[in-house]
Structure 1
């Protein structure tokens, strides 16, 4: 289908984009990579009156280490993260997840900020951000604020981002030396979206798990922290038997999605399988 008529303007800065958003109100939509917005416009599921292009803003596209934190600008593309040594040094699961997104065209155009703001339940970044203890940086007319990734994803395509705010960056604490991480997913073969994805990070000391962080996406209406796994394994030996027992019941406390790709029962099965694979990969 052909989208409805829409005006277009390119913002000169984040502040300029905020000003344009205030001027046009609910009629405006931000355009970065466009890989979620443009298809929705073509299907006329979304019909903004004006697009505010922020793709060329250099202040949103960077990756840097700043005082023990990895800072990734919201305009950074998935490919930027795949090829970033800083990202890989902080968490291997960052470039690993980015490289599993879509195809080369999507990875070179789609942005981290766009994916997080869109909050597709099947997207990869929400689970990775939760597992990495990330904070989401937002800027609006009243100033700047940060929201923990655990609190940012509030439901089906829903986040803590307000209509008059722009997601500007993500900050991730650099983990302790020896921390290993991975992102594993069972993907829909055409879109490569996750039917179920598991992001996990852990460190082992003296044969016991000293730190562990696990998050799941694709299973429920929003990515979530798998506290059942974390609580079961913290301080325990990372044996196959302990991991097998820990992943049981994953997703039992959320409303599991079902669609033509996978039933509730199959998604729950996949969550346990991929949680086990991820944990074995980083602890053995």
Structure 2
């Protein structure tokens, strides 16, 4: 199908983009990588009066170190995320999860910020961001503000980003030396997750000293498996310990039933995949 007509601007700075959104009003929409937005336009599921393309803003790309944080520009592509040395060293979980996103073509065009702002409950990057206690930097007419991951995802396809605001960067604490694994279950290659588990753990002297686990597609927003985290910390690392702790993975979740899986099957998958993810992360 052919999209409905709209105006198009390609600003070269965040300030210009914010102004363009203000001028366009509530009908203005942002184009990042376009991997989700372009199909919406083509199917006429969205009818914006103005599209603001962020592709010309160089300051929104790249990865840098700021003290005890790693900062990723919102327009950094998935391809660049998977190959960045700082992320692989200090925030390995986000690199591991990004490797599972769609296919090579999508990873070359899609962006970290675009995927997180889209907030699809089956998307692969929200649960890792939540597990890692990421911070989201958002710019608008009133300046810049920072939102914690626990407050960023509000509902299905809904985030804390206002209608005339832009996600500019994501800050991750450093998890240097932690193991990480993103365990994803889907029916066909490159498909959305039916269920997935993002796990990063710290093992010292044969014991699990810390653990952070996020669940994909177990609710309308990503969910922390805090029951599993609590059950793991302080325990001797063993398969039996991990499998037992993983039985708490579905606590506090509200998975849906659809054509891909029933809610009870998703709960079962969450337990199995959590066990696999933690064991792999712990080596």
Q: Give your verdict on TM over 0.5.
A: yes
Q: Deviations over 1:128-180 (max 9, x none)?
A: 111222111111111111111122111111111111210000111112x4311
Q: Does the 8 Å CA contact 1:32/1:75 hold for their aligned counterparts?
A: yes
Q: Deviations over 1:10-62 (max 9, x none)?
A: 11211101001111111110111111111111111111011111112110001
Q: Does the 8 Å CA contact 1:74/1:111 hold for their aligned counterparts?
A: yes
* RMSD (Å), alpha carbons: 1.3
- Normalised by the size of structure 1, how large is the TM-score? 0.96
Alignment partners' CA distance in 2, 1:106 and 1:174 = 27
Alignment partners' CA distance in 1, 2:158 and 2:213 = 21
Unmatched 5+ stretches in structure 2 = none
Q: Does the 8 Å CA contact 1:150/1:224 hold for their aligned counterparts?
A: no
What residue in structure 1 maps to residue 252 of structure 2?
253
What residue in structure 2 maps to residue 6 of structure 1?
6
Structure 1: which 4+ aligned runs deviate by more than 6 Å?
A: none
Which range moves more in the overlay, 88-97 or 66-75?
A: 88-97
Q: Which aligned pairs between 1:1-284 and structure 2 lie closer than 5 A? A: 1-175=1-175, 177-189=176-188, 191-284=190-283
Aligned length: 283
SS at match of 2:194: strand
Alignment partners' CA distance in 2, 1:60 and 1:200 = 27
SS at match of 1:260: coil
The Cα shift of 1:94 comes to: 2.1
The Cα shift of 1:191 comes to: 4.2
Which range moves more in the overlay, 180-189 or 51-60?
A: 180-189
Which range moves more in the overlay, 201-210 or 158-167?
A: 201-210
Q: Does the 8 Å CA contact 1:72/1:169 hold for their aligned counterparts?
A: yes
Alignment partners' CA distance in 1, 2:205 and 2:38 = 51
Alignment partners' CA distance in 2, 1:184 and 1:113 = 21
SS at match of 2:86: helix
Alignment partners' CA distance in 2, 1:282 and 1:99 = 15
Alignment partners' CA distance in 2, 1:25 and 1:89 = 41
Q: Does the 8 Å CA contact 1:150/1:225 hold for their aligned counterparts?
A: no
Q: Does the 8 Å CA contact 1:100/1:192 hold for their aligned counterparts?
A: no
SS at match of 1:122: coil
Alignment partners' CA distance in 2, 1:34 and 1:282 = 32
Alignment partners' CA distance in 2, 1:39 and 1:130 = 27
Which range moves more in the overlay, 189-198 or 55-64?
A: 189-198
The Cα shift of 1:207 comes to: 2.5
Q: Does the 8 Å CA contact 1:91/1:180 hold for their aligned counterparts?
A: no
Alignment partners' CA distance in 2, 1:107 and 1:66 = 26
Q: Does the 8 Å CA contact 1:178/1:203 hold for their aligned counterparts?
A: yes
Alignment partners' CA distance in 2, 1:130 and 1:148 = 9
The Cα shift of 1:68 comes to: 1.9
Alignment partners' CA distance in 2, 1:262 and 1:243 = 25
The Cα shift of 1:93 comes to: 2.2
Q: Deviations over 1:109-133 (max 9, x none)?
A: 1111111111000111101111222
Alignment partners' CA distance in 2, 1:251 and 1:156 = 19
SS at match of 1:82: helix
Change (3 A) 1:205 1:33: same
Alignment partners' CA distance in 2, 1:190 and 1:19 = 40
